[in-house]
Amino acid sequence: MSVFNCKCSICELRGLRNSLPLFLLFYTFLLYTEHSMKKSKDRKKLRLGVHISIAGGVSKSIERAAALNCNTLQIFSHNPRQWQVSPVPAEEAEQFAELRNKYDISPAYIHTSYLINLVSLTKTTLDRSIGLLASELEIADMLGAEYVVLHTGSVQGVDEKRARARAAESILKAIGSDRFRASLLLENTAGERGDITSSIKTLAEIIDRCRNGNIAGVCIDTCHAFAAGYDLTLNEGIEKLITEVKENIGLDGLKLIHLNDSKKPLGSGVDRHEHIGQGYIGIKGFRKILSDKRLSGVPLILETPKKAEDDDKRNLEKVSDMLSKL
């Protein structure tokens, strides 16, 4: 009888001992695969993107986002400094939707024009603003974009509460009896002169007045919040912001974070975005923000300066790097 076929207990034990390292190696491999699958599943849930140009056609923005490894994006629907809106050709809209599908880019956000002022005391500006907001929603529906991000506007020398009531009235007028599929998100502002929406409570006040106005919630801009006095470099400041959202809007109403550093100090009331980690919020502040579990499912869009060609890439890498180390 060959020794290799021997079934005696000594030989069996020796066989087991020989295969033990192999078994351990296989077991480690299984554990590692499970761990990386879980990690990539978690990562897949996280949506990170950047504000992207639509130069050359709106569908080009998706190609640009994909080239930057983004899985969400924000665009302007047209030149944000012009009242003029040209309709999106049907093929462009189709292409936009197809490419989004192909690259799994979701949600898509449209940031409204800077010209919109829904509390203007000038009738022509107010009427044009209401009309333009309606157009932004129409374009969003045509493209299948889920959200339209809005700064309601500013006004001086008027009671703030009355101004916010006026903003709500204007939003309801823009929506009219149309049923847009896209939802509005109100963005917090930096607290500049005439600002009426720099705190969470003030955003909630407008939302409450627009119960049927398909407002899905808010977009929190970290630069604006910091400039308006929320100290995001400290746990207390982040806690204050999140508690206010929780109590006045509800955490499920936080649909987007504009992740921007601030060029100006805390409470400056000045809206100047800076590269991630190079402003007053700094890497330490962003680490705190990104590690807060209550914010972990909220999509992140960067609106950081774009002076050099690889600015977006560098800012996105900084955020991805921080996220990977949490």
Active-site residue list: 81, 111, 114, 151, 187, 221, 224, 258, 271, 273, 303
> Per 3-state DSSP, what percentage of the chain is helix, strand, and coil (rounded to 5)?
50, 15, 40
Give the one residue of 271, 299, 304, 315 binding Zn ion; rule: CB under 5 A. Answer: 271
Stretch that binds Zn ion, among 246-254, 264-272, 277-285, 307-315 (CB under 5 A): 264-272
Stretch that binds Zn ion, among 4-12, 35-43, 60-68, 216-224 (CB under 5 A): 216-224
Q: Does 231 bind Zn ion (CB under 5 A)?
A: no
CA neighbours within 13 Å on the CB side: how many for 132? 28
Q: Is the peptide bond before 107 cis (omega within 30 degrees of 0)?
A: yes
Nearest to 97 by CA among 59, 47, 61, 64: 59
Tally of residues, the chain? 326
Helix segments in the chain, DSSP class H: 9-45, 60-67, 90-103, 123-143, 160-175, 200-209, 222-227, 235-248, 282-291, 311-324
Q: Does 261 bind Zn ion (CB under 5 A)?
A: no
Give the one residue of 78, 151, 258, 318 binding Zn ion; rule: CB under 5 A. Answer: 258
* C-beta closer to Zn ion: residue 93 or 319: 319
Stretch that binds Zn ion, among 93-101, 157-165, 253-261, 314-322 (CB under 5 A): 253-261
* C-beta closer to Zn ion: residue 205 or 271: 271
* C-beta closer to Zn ion: residue 60 or 273: 273
What is the spatial distance between Cα 207 and Cα 32, in angstroms, rounded to a whole number?
47
Residues 34-73, one symbol each (x = binds Zn ion by CB under 5 A, - = not), give ----------------------------------------
* C-beta closer to Zn ion: residue 142 or 217: 217
What is the spatial distance between Cα 16 and Cα 19, in angstroms, rounded to a whole number?
5
Q: Does 221 bind Zn ion (CB under 5 A)?
A: yes
Would you give the distance in Å from CA 75 to the centre of its chain? 12
Q: DSSP characters for 126-146?
A: HHHHHHHHHHHHHHHHHHT--
Stretch that binds Zn ion, among 25-33, 113-121, 250-258, 310-318 (CB under 5 A): 250-258
Rg (CA), the chain: 25
Interaction site with Zn ion (CB under 5 A): 221, 258, 271, 303
